[in-house]
Structures are given as structure tokens and as C-alpha cells.
């Protein structure tokens, strides 16, 4: 009797939990939408309107906009990691691995392109956001070390690190933005420029 009596309370509690999760998701998704539209610091009024909630509700779920923005950044970076395809095997030809790496990063950074100013601004304001982006750079460097391990292991220690650093610096979101936004290249043109740069790094090693 006691067990069955608690079931409605448990279901009610679960229902509240689902509503809280849905509301939080709506707030994060709405903020992300505004950031993708180029808003550097989406305001609560616009976020609430898009999410279909009140401004007060936004602050019931997040202490302030900085916490909300960090949650949005975490969502974006998690989605990027989840969308990454399986890397080409280490036994594949160098050109194939270069194309694989560039295709993956071009896709990811093209997604970040509209909201990169939002990301950079948030990095300056939030240590947690800066740490999230730093982890992305670290993970990318580790992936490059794994992908091109066959070529890197043949180099002396100092040259190996310098070559890996050159690759990591060349294939950054900032580099992609310079090619796409500052130089006005198409996606295909930017990919070709990246291929040229990566091949030049290996040819000069």
C-alpha cells in the first residue's frame, strides 16, 4: 500500500522534471539560434520571446546570461564532437588523410562561422568558456598527432613538435574565418587553400 501510494508522487515529480528539462532546452536552443544569427550577446527579452517563456523564467534556470552563454557554447562543442566521422585509417595515403581532416574541420568551423564573434567575446568574459575552447584546441591537436603519426614519428623530436604545432595553428577556426570571411573565399576554395598549406608543411618538414 505504501509503495503504490508513492507512485502518483513519483510520476508527478518526473513530470516536473521533464517540464524543467524542456524549458531549459528551449532557452538554450533559442539563445543558440540568436547567436547563429550573429548576435554577440543575445538579450534575455529576445531569448525569452523565442523560447515562449518569460524573462523571469530564464533566470530561474540560469543565474545570469554568462552561465546561459556557457551552456550554449557547451552544446555547440558537444554537437561538433558528435558529428565527427570516423577518421581515415593511419594506413591510408597521406592525401586521403589530409582530405579527411580538412573536410571534417571545414564542416565544423563553417558551423561556427556565424557565431564566432559570440564565442570570442564569451571567452574573454568567462574562464569556463575559455577552458572549453582550449579543450577543443587540445583535442584537435591530439587528433592531428594520431592522424599523421606515420609522418610525424619519422621526424626528430623538436621537428616533430614544430610540425604538429604548425598543423594545429593552420587548421584553427580563426584560420578558416580568415579564408572565408576576410578573404571572401568559397568553402571549396578555402578547403583547397588548407590542403595547399598542409601539404607545404609536410613538404617542408
Residues 119, 36 contacting (CB under 8 angstroms): no
> Looking at the predicted structure, is the pLDDT value of residue 9 above 90?
no
Confidence band for 84, pLDDT divided at 50, 70 and 90: low
Helices (H) and strands (E) in the chain, counts: 11, 0
d(CA 120, CA 40): 9
Global pTM value:
0.82
Nearest to 136 by CA among 101, 109, 100, 115: 109
- The residue-averaged pLDDT of 36-49 equals 95
> Looking at the predicted structure, is the pLDDT value of residue 34 above 60?
yes
d(CA 188, CA 113): 15
d(CA 98, CA 194): 9
Q: Structural domain boundaries of the chain? A: 2-62, 87-203
CATH of 2-62, one of 1.10.3470, 1.10.10, 3.40.50, 3.30.930: 1.10.10
Nearest to 28 by CA among 61, 55, 56, 60: 61
Q: Report the pLDDT value the prediction gives residue 85, as an integer from 0 to 100.
A: 59
Where residue 184 falls (left for φ over 0; alpha for ψ -120 to 50; beta otherwise) is: left
Inter-helix orientation angle 127-147/65-82, to 10°? 10
Where residue 52 falls (left for φ over 0; alpha for ψ -120 to 50; beta otherwise) is: left
Q: Report the pLDDT value the prediction gives residue 18, as an integer from 0 to 100.
A: 83
Confidence band for 108, pLDDT divided at 50, 70 and 90: very high
Comparing 4-13, 44-53, 63-72, 118-127, the range with the smallest average pLDDT is: 4-13
Amino acid at each position: 500500500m505504501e509503495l503504490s501510494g508513492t507512485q502518483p508522487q513519483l510520476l508527478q515529480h518526473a513530470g516536473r522534471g521533464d517540464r524543467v528539462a524542456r524549458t531549459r532546452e528551449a532557452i538554450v536552443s533559442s539563445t543558440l539560434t540568436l547567436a547563429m544569427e550573429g548576435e554577440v550577446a543575445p538579450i534575455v527579452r529576445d531569448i525569452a520571446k523565442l523560447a515562449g517563456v518569460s524573462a523571469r523564467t530564464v533566470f530561474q534556470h540560469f543565474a545570469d546570461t554568462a552561465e546561459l552563454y556557457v551552456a550554449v557554447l557547451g552544446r555547440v562543442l558537444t554537437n561538433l564532437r558528435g558529428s565527427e566521422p570516423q577518421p581515415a585509417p593511419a594506413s591510408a595515403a597521406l592525401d586521403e588523410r589530409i582530405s579527411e581532416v580538412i573536410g571534417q574541420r571545414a564542416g565544423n568551423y563553417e558551423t561556427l562561422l556565424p557565431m564566432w564573434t559570440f564565442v570570442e567575446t564569451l571567452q574573454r568574459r568567462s574562464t569556463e568558456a575559455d577552458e572549453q575552447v582550449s579543450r577543443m584546441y587540445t583535442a584537435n591537436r591530439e587528433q592531428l598527432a594520431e592522424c599523421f603519426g606515420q609522418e610525424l614519428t619519422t621526424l626528430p623530436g623538436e621537428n616533430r613538435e614544430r610540425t604538429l604545432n604548425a598543423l594545429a595553428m593552420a587548421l584553427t577556426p580563426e584560420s578558416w574565418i580568415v579564408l572565408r570571411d576576410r578573404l571572401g573565399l568559397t568553402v571549396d576554395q578555402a578547403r583547397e587553400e588548407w590542403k595547399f598549406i598542409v601539404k607545404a608543411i609536410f613538404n617542408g618538414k
